[in-house]
């Protein structure tokens, strides 16, 4: 499962309406990312910054679709995923 796809996480129990909203948010973000990648007027640093901002904005929008209980469960899963990644990389959590 992709770390940024709560709509695919059965443990969150998202409604069909929530899943549709998340799908629309993702489609919009996908279009924005494509546009930034094609924008030849941007420097590499500007492009990277815009891509990062779009991803952050997308996460915030997806987060806003979830209920407080779903947010709590998703945040916990994210923490566990980051910890597992650190362990796999051989680093210790801060």
Sorted by sequence, the CB contacts under 8 Å of residue 51 that are 6+ apart come out as 33, 36, 37
Lookup: tokens for 77: 């899963």
**Is 3 inside any structural domain?**
no
**Is 6 inside any structural domain?**
no
What is the percent of the chain where pLDDT is above 70?
A: 91
Q: What is the pTM of this model?
A: 0.76
Mean pLDDT of 12-24: 93
* Contact in structure between 50 and 36 (CB atoms under 8 Å): yes
Containing structural domain, residue 72: 12-89
Give the C-alpha separation, 8 to 70, whole Å.
Answer: 13
What is the predicted pLDDT for the residue at 1? 39
Q: How many domains does the chain have?
A: 1
**Is 79 inside any structural domain?**
yes
**Is 2 inside any structural domain?**
no
Whether 71 has a pLDDT exceeding 80, the answer reads: yes
What is the percent of the chain where pLDDT is above 90?
A: 64
What is the predicted pLDDT for the residue at 92? 55
Q: Which of 3-7, 13-17, 84-88 has the lowest mean pLDDT?
A: 3-7
């Amino acid at each position: 499962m992709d770390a940024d796809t709560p709509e695919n996480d059965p443990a969150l129990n998202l409604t069909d309406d929530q899943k549709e909203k998340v799908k629309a948010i993702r489609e919009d973000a996908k279009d924005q990312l494509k546009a930034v990648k094609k924008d030849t007027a941007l420097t590499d640093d500007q492009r990277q910054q815009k891509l990062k901002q779009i991803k952050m904005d997308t996460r915030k929008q997806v987060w806003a679709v979830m209920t407080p209980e779903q947010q709590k469960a998703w945040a916990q899963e994210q923490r566990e995923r980051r910890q597992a990644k650190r362990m796999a990389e051989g680093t210790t959590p801060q």
